[in-house]
A and B are shown apart, each in its own frame.
Chain A
Amino acid sequence: MESMSVGLTHFLVLSSLLFSLGIYGILTRKNAVLVLMGVELVLNSANINFIAFSRFGNFGYDGQLMALFVIVLAAAEAAIALAIVLNIYKSFHNVNVDEIDKLKE
């Protein structure tokens, strides 16, 4: 029985699952904060991909660096997005995304 080693495919499947969960969260959650959490999942699935390709691919440390960038960006994004959510709350008194449809006007 071949020992079950963790390979590239596993990482990619994990990241795909994570990406899909993230997208699902983005599309289905009503709460804006939960939507942001979905976004974090998507970003992190991308990080897993970077790391996996950095480990199994022939790219050196570029992938790891990019992942670090993404983490930083995600932090910044979270800060700005939360500020936007706060502003939305100020304007609409709720953070339910499906009730905020001002864009159609």
Chain B
Amino acid sequence: MNDPLILYASLITLFLPVAGFALVTFSLGRIKKVFIGEISLMAVSLLSSVYILIDKLFLHPGVTSVFEFSWISFATGTGNQPINVKLGISVDSVTAILMFAVMLISFLVHLFSVEYMHGDKRFNRYFGYLGLFTFSMLGIVLTHNLLMMYIFWELVGLSSYLLIGFWFEKDSAADAAKKAFLVNRIGDIGMFLGILILFITYGTFTFSEIFAGIGSGKLPFDSEGWLTAAGILVFLGAVGKSAQFPLHVWLPDAMEGPTPVSALIHAATMVAAGVYLVIRIFVMLTADAMVFIAVIGALTAFISATIALTQNDIKKVLAYSTISQLGYMVMSLGVGAYAFAFFHLITHAFFKAGLFLGSGSVIHAMHHEQDIRNMGGLRKKMPVTYFSFLAYTLAICGIPLTSGFLSKDGILAGTYSFGLLTGHWLIPILGFSVVLLTAFYMFRLLFKTFHGKPADLHKYEHAHESPFLMAMPLVVLAVLSVFFWYGLNPASPDSAWFVSKWIDVPAKVVPESSNFSFMNTTATGGESLYNAEYTEAQHHAHFPTMIMSLLFDIIAIGLALLFYIYFKLNSRKLAAALPAVYNFSLRKWYFDEFYNGVIVKGTLLFSSVLYAFDKYIIDGIVNFSAYLTKLISRVSSAFDIIFVDGLVNFTAYINGFAGKHLRRIQTGKVQTYLVLVLFALLTLIILFKP
């Protein structure tokens, strides 16, 4: 059932943003308001994605539309089947929802940027980059094979690089762009290796064909270990792109980019690409790979949440909170809560984009002040920003009636039941502690920014509510952070439409022996991924999870109130009392220092060793051979000069000498000749006389 309309709609959605990029790039600044063209193309693209969404969710639910063509055919020797590399797109409900989310947020960010970037000297180019980014991101979402995934993956990296370094006159922005690009590259190498392992084994890049190959029992190098390795290697790409520990260090620095870019790329969409990749390869993850992924996700969530506690830059706090939430999603995939991971990806995309746009609104109003210590009391000046920000904050903390409550509780229930079934208790423990931390640092941020007394009166006086184009996206996103878009019962994550209707959890294809026993599909069912044991555990997990997370939220918000509203507790004194802990968090667990000291310095040291090797050994060999050649040529030159030239000159000398003496005979006088003739005649006569 391949409806061609879906194909056309997908291609329209995919290519219009890049058409905007081409329009902006090739107008070369000759058209003043070319960004309007880009925005209108985005609007059409958004409508087209809405069509796909409606088709996939309501008209033809559960149908996957695949469009592919054979791109290259490699001969593999006589008697073997040629390898066909296919390119194509595949559209299912996950694709449709994510496409819509990307397009919606991208469109809102475009609108927001019109005001936010107003007066920037590279205003049009900015919109071109946004278009390029949207194109690459949609490519990742739509593709049905790893090859195109990798290509768009790199394109996303490129546009992220361009946008982080958009204000490249600032050294910090240029450095952050470089850092983001290089750190991402490390993850991408792993992903590339993983793709190669899969390609070597199955001779295809297409997801469905790879999964069919695994399902038929063919394993990379005939080993389940290699299948685990392939899964983890591909996951490394996600570690880079989704800023998971230990490659999370680029995301906070990426906040050097314009704030709407942070909202679009570094909160809602690009960083979600890693999670999306794991969703796509979910069915080929073995139990070991999943535990690895879950642990990475849990550690990421915990580490970045502790760092976010003490940061003072509004965007840095949000950056670490993003990393933390991404860790949640990855952890959720690791524990098998597949639908909830995607659910959280979408809800988080909306409320985190909102948080960033809200912070952009605040920064804009405060004339590019980003330090929350200089803010305060903005609630009265910017009511729209404040209330939408409050809605997002409630959502990210998982307070009931918000979207975040539904998705987050699902994730926590997943980790809890995972702990019950496998005994990996570390993951739920970290997961729950992150709830506490998240609620605390988010309310700290909210209170310090919007409540209390203004710290900088001058800036406060000039602060004002943002214009319509900036306020409207905030309101839209705030409305999207409420539960009823996702499910009618605000207290039951399981009955949310994402979980109950829209997302079909695919059956795992890995061999049963390397899968969790509770995840093996029941032979008869086929419909649900998990057997009764797991479903039961999850079912039981929901209630305690809800109670615990609510309890943690209340404790954390209460603490935040005591610290930052009523000043019953003094955060400075606490920091002074525990300087080691405070500094550890403030300096971000010393990751940057560690990477600088060990990896950057190590690389520099290594390269200086290589340089020395080059200089002394390689250059030495080259110079020695040059010296040797010179020496040989000296000898050969001496031989030439003395012997060969000597021979030539000697011959010439002999000839000259002979000539010099024989010329005397040639007097030119007839009588001399006659004498000679006579002499010769007489000689002949004497010699031949009879």
Chain B residues with CB below 8 A from A27, complex form: 671, 674-675, 678
Main secondary structure on B side of the interface with A: helix
In the bound complex, residues from chain A placing their C-beta under 8 Å from that of B669 are: 97-98, 100-101, 103-104
B residues whose Cβ falls under 8 Å from a Cβ of A: 666-671, 673-675, 678
Q: Do B678 and A101 touch across chains, with their CB atoms under 8 A apart?
A: no
Q: How far is the CA of A27 from the CA of B674 in the complex (A)?
A: 7
Query: Closest approach, in angstroms, between the C-beta of B651 and any C-beta of chain A?
Result: 26
CB-based contact B668/A105 at 8 Å: yes
Interchain CB contact under 8 A, A26 and B671: yes
Q: Residues of A contacting B671 with CB < 8 Å?
A: 26-28, 35, 97-98
For A1-32 the 0/1 string (1 means CB < 8 A from B) is 00000000000000000000001001110000
Within 8 A of B (CB), among A66-105: 97-98, 100-105
Determine the residue in chain B with the shortest Cβ distance to A103: B668
Enumerate chain A residues within 8 angstroms of B666, measured Cβ to Cβ: 104
In the complex, which residues of chain A have a beta carbon less than 8 angstroms from the beta carbon of B678? Answer: 23, 27
Q: A97-B670, A102-B668, A104-B666 are in contact. List 10 more A-B contacts (CB 8 A).
A: A27-B678, A28-B671, A35-B671, A97-B669, A98-B669, A100-B668, A101-B667, A101-B668, A103-B673, A105-B668
Q: How far, in angstroms, from A97 to B670 measured CA to CA in the complex?
A: 7
Q: How many angstroms between the C-alpha atoms of A27 and B667 in the bound complex?
A: 14
In Å, the complex CA distance between A40 and B675 comes to 18
Alpha-carbon separation in the docked complex, A28 to B666 (Å): 18
Q: A104 — which chain B residues lie within 8 A by C-beta?
A: 666-669
Residues of chain A within 8 A (CB-CB) of B667 are 101, 104
Distance of A43 Cα from B116 Cα, bound (Å): 133
A93 CB to nearest B CB, Å: 18
A-B residue pairs in contact (CB < 8 Å), sample of 26:
A23-B678, A26-B671, A26-B674, A27-B671, A27-B674, A27-B675, A27-B678, A35-B671, A97-B670, A97-B671, A98-B669, A98-B671, A100-B668, A100-B669, A100-B670, A101-B667, A101-B668, A102-B668, A103-B668, A103-B669, A103-B673, A104-B666, A104-B667, A104-B668, A104-B669, A105-B668
Closest to B670 in A: A97
List chain A residues, Cβ under 8 A from B674. 26-27
Q: Which residues of B contact A103 (CB under 8 A)?
A: 668-670, 673
The distance from the CB of B451 to the nearest CB of chain A, in whole angstroms, is 124
Contacts of B673 in A (CB 8 A): 103
Closest B residue to A102 using CB positions: B668
Residue in B closest to A30 when the chains form the complex, CB atoms: B671
State A27–B678 Cα separation when bound (angstroms).
10
